[in-house]
Amino acid sequence: MGVISGIGNNVAECLNALVEGKTGIDKIKYLKTNHRDLLPAAEVKLSNDGLSVISGLAPHTSRTAMLSMIAAQEAWDNSGVKNIPSLRTGFVSASTAGGIDKTEEFFTHFLIDNKKGKLRNIINHECGSITTMVADKLGIRNHISTISTACSSSANAIMYGARLIKHNLLDAVVAGGTDALTRFTLNGFNTLLVLDEQYCRPFDENRSGLNLGEGAGYVVLVSERVALLLEKSPYCAISGYFNANDAYHQTSTSVDGDGPYMAMAGALAMSGLQPMDINYINLHGTGTQNNDSSEGAAIQRLFHPNYPKMSSTKSFTGHTLGASAGVEAVFSALAIHHGIVYPNLRLQNPMAAFPFTPEIAFSKQPGLKHVLSNSVGFGGNCSSLIFSKL
């Protein structure tokens, strides 16, 4: 697996921040925006020049692509799959922003003078272009796909990768997602009135919204046959997954939690597990009024009266949009591999409507066997993944 986010530039750095309780949310530094002093975000702590050095891509490349390249390369190298040349490999990457950051740069100049603006900044605008660019660098050519289903995008990318292997179309898939912070994204969420001017407080009674973030997260999925050929053992298995759509609203989920409920229940059914078998839930937990109420209602419907430990790692990374489920898949695998549960930072007043409380402190859980990770996207697109100890 590989990851880059506001709390670290690789898996080891992110894990250390999670253990130490260090958030990546801070004053905006790199994005050029009028909201720099008003809206905090979890930016990756590197300029485009810095990302260029690590990714090997030119500094004028989209930030989304450089984030993808760094995390995907780490996952690819970490897996050892590339050392078995005969395998059928694929790259399934998710994104909602694509190359919008460079398009914004182009129009800044173009709108002043329509003879100005560098055309190289718009040729990789669409999400699929970013995927192809990174796949080429990785040398993956058997299958390349891009998923864009809002904030559940990476979860669906991982599901699709798993299905490609399950049906014997591929032997190994790099799956996950990437998104850079852009003015379009920041302004859009601000228009929806869901951004918190303070550091976000997921599942707190007094929560005021989300903080955006950026990053990329990928896992390498392999068949059981390929797993036996690798020098190192897999971190865990993906034992269940499900995508559902409550079709309730363009940007909100059902107040009864229908979408998240169907996704979690479907993933459990596929895995053959019961609700009581889940040891930890990585909450979607954005910190908005609607999201936390809806996801909480779904958890209550499915798990009452025995609730597993749970927390939202978006209190560390912010909401990384299309990358979030990929980043959180890595965190979920780490939780199983190391037997640990992360804290829900800044939680002071648990939501009064629910009889459960997310974790407020880091803890070691040697018996951790099954982790459920939730992702909820615009348009009602809800997905759940279950990671299990081998």
CATH code of 92's domain:
3.40.47.10
| 3 state DSSP class of 67 | helix
What is the spatial distance between Cα 254 and Cα 388, in angstroms, rounded to a whole number? 29
The pLDDT value given to residue 335: 98
The pLDDT value given to residue 377: 87
List the catalytic residues.
Answer: 151, 284, 319
From first to last of the 390 residues of the chain, give the pLDDT tens digit: 999 999 999 999 999 999 999 999 999 999 999 999 999 999 999 999 999 999 999 999 999 999 999 999 999 999 999 999 899 999 999 999 999 999 999 999 999 999 999 999 999 999 999 999 999 999 999 999 999 999 999 999 999 999 999 999 999 999 999 999 999 999 999 999 999 999 999 999 999 999 999 999 999 999 999 999 999 999 999 999 999 998 888 878 888 999 999 999 999 999 999 999 999 999 999 999 999 999 999 999 999 999 999 999 999 999 999 999 999 999 999 999 999 999 999 999 999 999 999 999 999 999 999 999 999 988 889 999 999 999
Number of folded domains in the chain? 1
Name the DSSP class of 249. Answer: -
The pLDDT value given to residue 131: 98
The pLDDT value given to residue 255: 86
SS (H, E, C) 77-116: HHHCHHHCCCCCEEEEEECCCCCHHHHHHHHHHHCCCCCC
Yes or no: say if 157 and 94 are a contact pair by the CB < 8 Å rule. yes
Expressed as residue numbers, the domain containing 334 is: 2-388
Yes or no: say if 313 and 211 are a contact pair by the CB < 8 Å rule. no
Name the DSSP class of 372. Answer: E
What is the spatial distance between Cα 346 and Cα 326, in angstroms, rounded to a whole number? 23
Task: Retrieve residue 173's tokens.
Answer: 């898939």
The pLDDT value given to residue 251: 79
The pLDDT value given to residue 247: 87
**What pTM value is reported for the model?**
0.97
What is the spatial distance between Cα 347 and Cα 87, in angstroms, rounded to a whole number? 46
DSSP codes, 148-207:
-BTBTHHHHHHHHHHHHHHTTS-SEEEEEEEE---HHHHHHHHHTT-B-SS---TTBTT-
What is the spatial distance between Cα 87 and Cα 163, in angstroms, rounded to a whole number? 16
What is the spatial distance between Cα 321 and Cα 228, in angstroms, rounded to a whole number? 34
Provide the b/e sequence for 331-355 (b: ≥16 CB within 10 Å).
Answer: bbbbbbbbbbbbbbbbbeebbeebe
Provide the b/e sequence for 271-309 (b: ≥16 CB within 10 Å).
Answer: bebebebbbbbbbbbbbbebbbbbbbbbbbebbeeebbb
